[in-house]
Structure formats: C-alpha cells, structure tokens
C-alpha cells in the first residue's frame, strides 16, 4: 500500500508570512494524483490544491502553491501571506486511478497574529 508521510506534526507562522508544509509519499505507480486538504475546527475537510503526477508544472491556487518533485516523491505546500483563517489541520493525500485516498498524518498549522 502507498504511504504518505508528513514529518511536521505542528507548524506556526506569523500572519502575512510564508510557511511550507512538507509531504513525502512512497509509490511504485507512475500515474497518480496528490492533494492537500484543510480541516479547520469546523471539521469539514476542504480541498486546497491538487496536482496531477504527469504534469511537471506546479499547481497554484491563489495564495497556495505546491512544490512537486516527482523523482524525490515530495509534495510540499506553500502558503503565502498567511491569514488567521488558514489555521487548521492540513492533510496531504495520494490517490491513484481506481483507488482510494491515502492520507498523511496531518500538520496542525497555527497562525500567530
């Protein structure tokens, strides 16, 4: 089974600063998809950003961007201009065609005013 590792259980960032959350994964497949989900205290898991493995260009969604290194099996999330509403649990997830999600253990992000 695929494994997804998030080595930072907790991170903090000053409001308006930039923070990077790390994620690595292990797979023998060549075609797959990677996701970052955010889970605020409201509990709902919200899709932040998605990357297709066959695309070399890193995905970007407004203040959120990824650094996808396929050979290194690394998929980090960069949050620019951090806002108080970014405080949440962030889960990295892996999904291949015809398969379910594999979630990482999560990183709890605190935003300091």
Contacting positions for another protein (CB under 8 A): 31-33, 35, 37, 42-47, 50, 52, 89, 91, 95-101, 103-106, 108
* Rounded least distance, CB 10 to another protein, Å: 10
- For another protein, the closer of residues 2 and 80 by Cβ is 2
Residue with tokens 């990077």: 20
Tell me whether residue 15 or residue 31 sits nearer to another protein (CB atom).
31
Minimum CB distance to another protein, residue 108 (Å) = 7
User: Which residues, at least 6 apart from 36, have a Cβ–Cβ distance to it below 8 Å?
Assistant: 21, 23, 47, 48, 49, 50, 64, 66, 75, 77, 90, 91, 92, 93
The stretches of the chain forming alpha helices (DSSP H) are none
If the CB atoms of residues 62 and 97 are measured against another protein, the closer one turns out to be 97
Query: Which residue matches tokens 């990824």?
Result: 66
The 3-state DSSP class for residue 85 equals helix
| Shortest distance (Å) from residue 96 CB to another protein | 5
Min CB(72)–another protein separation in Å: 21
Nearer Cβ to another protein (77/106): 106
DSSP state of 41: T
């Amino acid at each position: 089974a695929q494994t997804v590792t998030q080595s930072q259980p907790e991170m903090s960032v000053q409001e308006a600063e930039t923070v990077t959350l790390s994620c690595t994964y292990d797979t023998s497949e060549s075609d797959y998809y990677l996701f970052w989900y955010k889970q605020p205290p409201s509990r709902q898991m919200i899709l932040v950003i998605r990357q297709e493995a066959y695309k070399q260009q890193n995905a970007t969604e407004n203040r959120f961007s990824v650094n996808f290194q396929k050979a290194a099996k690394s998929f980090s999330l960069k949050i620019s201009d951090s806002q108080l509403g970014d405080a949440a649990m962030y889960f990295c997830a892996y999904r291949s065609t015809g398969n379910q999600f594999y979630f990482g253990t999560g990183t709890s992000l605190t935003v300091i005013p």
